[in-house]
Amino acid sequence: MVGDVVGKPGRRAVRDLLGPLRRELGLHLIVANAENAAGGRGLTPETAAEILQAGADVLTSGNHIWDKKEMVPAMDQEAAILRPLNFAPGVPGRGYLAQGGVLVVNLIGRTFLGNYECPFRAADHLLQTLPDRPPVVLVDFHAEATSEKQAMGWYLAGRVSAVVGTHTHVPTADPRVLPGGTAYVTDVGMVGPRDSVLGDDSSAVIERFLTLMPNRLPVAGGPVLFCSVLIDVDETTGRATAIQRVDRVVD
């Protein structure tokens, strides 16, 4: 699972690393959160295709998926791109798909983020009603509050293979396998400029904090931090056996 890909620097790092990592680690499936891949905010059909062609098998997203209007009609096409399952009924796109023998589910949190449907009940409904789902289930929980993410991990413990947090762009040091065989990490982190504020130019972000005035937040430059986690799952039982951080720096 690859953390939030930020802008062109993030896309370049994905292009350079996914192929070698797939060979080095023997990866079966690569999922990447791509909602910030187009200029640091949102996703376009072109940037989505770039990440998929670089080696990602499924793209997840979150609260920024509608930031680029051209992405709205594209969400109903066949590309392996998800938006959160617990968005309002009737919006474009889908919140889960089965790919390579893995059910990938995208959820979004509500604390500090917005008025979405309950992600806990949405996960319950999907797991209870989806027929013939594969044993391996990966949940990308795109949420702000660490408490909400941890609660989701414990709520789904023993029922899914992994709950991985995205959105904050800051990698956490708590990967573990919860009781019942559910791999968990509070936040995967990002694929974006290391010397930045969440991938954005530090000076611009500091100016906004100092003045409280809206200003443009360009994607920063310099070395790129590539954050991801590697999850080992028994494909027969769907139980995770290990999770570890796989982080790199790309000049």
Active-site positions read 64
**Dihedral sign for Cα atoms in the order 183, 184, 185, 191:** positive
Query: Which among 181, 112, 117, 125 has a CA at the least distance from the CA of 153?
Result: 181
Contacts of 119 (CB under 8 A, 6+ apart): 84, 85, 86, 107, 108, 109, 110, 141, 143, 152
Tokens of 202: 């530090």
Bridging pattern class, strands 176-178 and 229-233: unpaired
Task: Measure the CA–CA gap between 182 and 158, rounded to whole angstroms.
Answer: 6
User: Are 33 and 188 spatial neighbours (Cβ–Cβ below 8 Å)?
Assistant: yes
For 57-149, strand residue ranges (E) read: 58-60, 96-99, 102-108, 136-142
CA distances 96 to 5, 55, 58, 184, Å, are 20, 19, 10, 19
